[in-house]
Amino acid sequence: MSKGLLNDLRIRPRRLRRSEGLRQLTEETVLRRADLIQPVFVKEEGEPEGVESMPEINLLAIPDLLEEGHRLLDLGIRGMALFPNISPNKKDSQGSEALKEDTLVLRAARELREALPEMLLISDLALDPYTDHGHDGLLAENGSVANDPTVEVLVEMAVLASRAGIDVVAPSDMMDGRVGAIRQRLDEEGEQETAIMAYSAKFASAYYGPFRDAVGSARKDESPIDKRSYQLAPSNSRDALRELLLDEVEGADFLMIKPAGPYLDIVRMARERTNLPIAAYQVSGEYAQLHAAAKNGWLDLNSCIMESVLGIKRAGADIILTYFAKRAAALLKS
């Protein structure tokens, strides 16, 4: 080559990308199957039932859920997050079904605990699968979501979940003070070993739509439910940091950011500001959009799954809750 512009180019980053061996040697972020948690939906009875907006996700009755648990373990996935889809006639304004000893999610937890001792069981704590209005808490007379009465219910839900064999309770309601209250009540009840994964920075996101179809909390023919009086504004990272640090002080064992993809800056900020393990939830809408594009032949599904999940880990998440967990685990070597 003639002497020219690149005459003295000694620093050539491409040298390390030349071969598969060099690329592997210099790999910075490595996704493991054990980083992944699979959210699952449990229903009262009947055959597995698809969710239109969530391809490959089925609502499962308990016997099918147990089988699914075995498949997940075989794939190297160590954690399941449980969400109940209860029949509409069990819903009321108080979400009273949530505090029954034999409610669906607790029955599922007991059976999973027995059948799969090594599976990590995570249970969401919030009232939206149980209320006829679809909010995560109890309503005050003026229609707003009442903070302190809701926390009273959440602490009871936590104790019931823990006694049913749940390893990690995950309050997803965004009420003030709930992490501290749950920790206190669990300890008083002798459930010190049960961990809290706090949905600390949970944003009022339009990406939850398909999930609401799956748990049946979407209000048909109405505008999407408005949770902005408790979930975070997408514009606000300082408010997110405030919530993250508060949950740490209140005794959370894990801090979660949700959704993941649109909030990777928050994941990174959390990683830099706390020593707790950080979880990020790639939510139903993030799942649906990749599937929809792939169905049109516009994106390669498996490649986009791995890239999006790896990106979440690279941003600073130790743990990723994703509906793609099963597919991703099948694609990973370890």
Taking the complex as a whole, the smallest distance from the CB of residue 94 to ligand PBG amounts, in Å, to 16
Stretch that binds ligand PBG, among 105-113, 114-122, 124-132, 151-159 (CB under 6 A): 124-132
Q: Among 90, 91, 227, 258, which one carries the catalytic annotation?
A: 258
Q: Is 68 in the site for ligand PBG (CB under 6 A)?
A: no
Q: Is 198 in the site for ligand PBG (CB under 6 A)?
A: no
Residue least distant from ligand PBG (Cβ): 211
Q: Is 58 in the site for ligand PBG (CB under 6 A)?
A: no
CB 292 within 8 A of CB 214: no
Q: Which residues of 197-226 are buried (b: 16+ CB within 10 A; e: fewer)?
A: bbbbbbbbbebbbbbbbbbbbbeeeeeebe
Q: Is 213 in the site for ligand PBG (CB under 6 A)?
A: no
202 is catalytic: yes
Q: Among 43, 202, 313, 326, which one carries the catalytic annotation?
A: 202
Among 53, 200, 284, 308, binds ligand PBG (CB under 6 A): 284
Taking the complex as a whole, the smallest distance from the CB of residue 245 to ligand PBG amounts, in Å, to 21
Stretch that binds ligand PBG, among 110-118, 122-130, 141-149, 302-310 (CB under 6 A): 122-130
Among 41, 130, 203, 211, binds ligand PBG (CB under 6 A): 211
Q: Is 243 in the site for ligand PBG (CB under 6 A)?
A: no
Among 64, 136, 243, 248, binds ligand PBG (CB under 6 A): 136
Q: Is 247 in the site for ligand PBG (CB under 6 A)?
A: no
Residue whose structure tokens are 């009947």: 46
SS3 36: strand
**CA-atom Rg of the chain in angstroms:** 21
Stretch that binds ligand PBG, among 23-31, 61-69, 100-108, 208-216 (CB under 6 A): 208-216
Determine the Cα–Cα distance for residues 145 and 159; give it in Å rounded to an integer: 22
Closest CA to 173 of 230, 212, 214, 121: 230
Taking the complex as a whole, the smallest distance from the CB of residue 211 to ligand PBG amounts, in Å, to 3
Taking the complex as a whole, the smallest distance from the CB of residue 9 to ligand PBG amounts, in Å, to 48
258 is catalytic: yes
The DSSP secondary structure of 185-235, one letter per residue, reads HHHHTT-TT-EEEEEEEEB--GGGHHHHHHHT-S-TTSPPP--TTTSBPTT
Taking the complex as a whole, the smallest distance from the CB of residue 14 to ligand PBG amounts, in Å, to 39
Determine the Cα–Cα distance for residues 14 and 5; give it in Å rounded to an integer: 18
Among 126, 160, 280, 317, binds ligand PBG (CB under 6 A): 126
Q: Cα(first)–Cα(last) distance of the chain, in Å? A: 44
Among 35, 68, 124, 243, binds ligand PBG (CB under 6 A): 124
* Beta-sheet pairing, 54-60 with 49-51: antiparallel
CB 212 within 8 A of CB 225: yes
CB 51 within 8 A of CB 85: no
Determine the Cα–Cα distance for residues 80 and 78; give it in Å rounded to an integer: 7
Q: Is 51 in the site for ligand PBG (CB under 6 A)?
A: no
Ramachandran angles phi, psi of 234, nearest 5°: -55, -20
Taking the complex as a whole, the smallest distance from the CB of residue 128 to ligand PBG amounts, in Å, to 5
Active site residues: 202, 258
Binding residues for ligand PBG, per CB under 6 A? 124, 126, 128, 136, 172-173, 208, 211-212, 227, 283-284
